[in-house]
Structure 1
Amino acid sequence: MVQTIRIEAEARGRAGKGAARATRREGLVPGVVYGAKREATLVAFDPRDIMKELHKGSWQSHVYDVVVKDGPTERALLREVQFHPVTDRPIHIDFQRLAPGARIRIKVPVVFKHEDSCPGLKAGGVLNLVRRELEVLVDPEAVPETFHIDLAEAKIGDSIRWSAVVDKADAKPVITGRDFVVATIAPPTVVEEVAAPVAAAEPAKKGGKAAAKPAAKAPAAAAAAPAKKK
């Protein structure tokens, strides 16, 4: 089951762009917790706490307890992060509050087991990932950390589908009506060698011999001797 992560926040009194800019000038990231048919809670976060979560990866698959100073603790999903277009720092955070007893829509990463002993991969096949994460509807208290698929018997040409997922934890896929493909074992890529072009044959020589080079010109005749004086 996925771990619930605690993140601390401060309450904000006002909404709007001006109030959000004032929060950023104080060195905090403005945010909101909404949903479950209740009034939205305006909050602000330490940017270091936000960056710590973003660097973990798969933050959309985590459940958070947003602990508001001098306020309520909200169980929520981190739904959206807005970034500054130049600095790439977070400038606004949206959390979706979880309603008691309601299923949540969440993405869970896929982990493949026994890749080292997979017959298809040992034969030179390639694991082609169609979906790295699977989006499902699940009870917030039973969200799996990952979905596992066993490749111990997968061969070249096999398609690994949703039905191959181990321990679904009562999760229901968002894609319904078919046993959709998660990955395939593709055949190895064959690179054909292209033969180098054969050099053009030299033209046939007359008589089987090389044509004789033109004879060098004879040296010019010596100049006539001058006539003797009488």
Structure 2
Amino acid sequence: MKTFQLTGTPRTELGKKAAKTLRKGNMIPAVLYGGEKELTFQVPNEAVRSLIYTPEIFVVELTVDGTTTHAIIKEIQFHPVSDNILHIDFLEVSENKPVVMDVPIVLEGHAEGVKAGGKLSQEMRKLKVKAIYTQIPEKLVVNIDHLGLGKTMQVGSLSFEGLELLNAKNAVVCAVKLTRAARGAAAKAN
């Protein structure tokens, strides 16, 4: 997993009024959970843009007041109308405590069903996994070469070393759907 460097400054004032003032100054209020105590701090809006608006996942090397910790983004709150970032929650990670993250899925290969005239449909873009943060890959590669026409690939049929998949076992990751042309060809063959 890639590492992202982020520097924040401690917050002295808490509450709605202080948070509103921070946002007007182009800063984002943030909290770090998971350590001995909660840490409230602020980060510049421009500093987190390339961390948030990307499909990739990162371990954040967070430096606040000279202390550096490793963390992941747990939750981001957006404004409902303007879509500006209102608040970020970080979770401190360690070598001995597993974390839960959404990891992007990448489909690899050419499905047999697509060669037969079907259309590939990716139903899930990310899988929720639980593991030690150092074992979580940047992406999960799923081979679809054996996927036939009208067939689906479910979460229960996938397994990755060192990772526990938390999605429902019957959730569909991808499917090869029948097209009108494939139905017509099948009807003519019979």
TM-score by length of 1: 0.70
Which has the higher relative contact order, 1 or 2, with Cα contacts under 8 A spaced 6 or more apart? 2
In structure 2, the residue matched to 1:160 is: 153
Return the match for 1:66 from 57, 62, 69: 62
Are 1:123 and 2:116 counterparts? yes
The separation in 2 between residues aligned to 1:85 and 1:180, in whole angstroms, is 29
Are 1:98 and 2:93 counterparts? yes
Give the conservation status (yes or no) of the 8 Å contact 2:127–2:167: no
CA separation of 1:189 and 1:86: change in aligned 2, threshold 3 A: same
Pairs within 5 Å for 1:149-188: 149-162=142-155, 165=158, 168-175=160-167, 178=169, 181-188=172-179
Are 1:28 and 2:27 counterparts? yes
Q: 3-state DSSP class of the match of 1:78? A: strand
Return the match for 1:46 from 35, 44, 47: 44
The separation in 2 between residues aligned to 1:47 and 1:102, in whole angstroms, is 30
Q: 3-state DSSP class of the match of 2:96? A: coil
The separation in 1 between residues aligned to 2:142 and 2:44, in whole angstroms, is 38
Gaps of 5+ in 1: 193-230
Q: 3-state DSSP class of the match of 2:53? A: helix
| 1:141-195 deviations in Å (ceiling 9; x for gaps) | 11111111112222112222346547x231001146x465422222113599xxx
Aligned residues: 183
TM-score by length of 2: 0.83
Gaps of 5+ in 2: 184-190
Following superposition, the deviation at residue 40 of structure 1 comes to 0.9
The separation in 1 between residues aligned to 2:77 and 2:152, in whole angstroms, is 37
Percent identity reads: 25
Higher strand share: 2
CA separation of 1:55 and 1:175: change in aligned 2, threshold 3 A: closer
Give the conservation status (yes or no) of the 8 Å contact 2:155–2:171: yes
The separation in 2 between residues aligned to 1:150 and 1:78, in whole angstroms, is 29
- Coordinate RMSD, CA, aligned: 2.5
Give the conservation status (yes or no) of the 8 Å contact 1:14–1:42: no
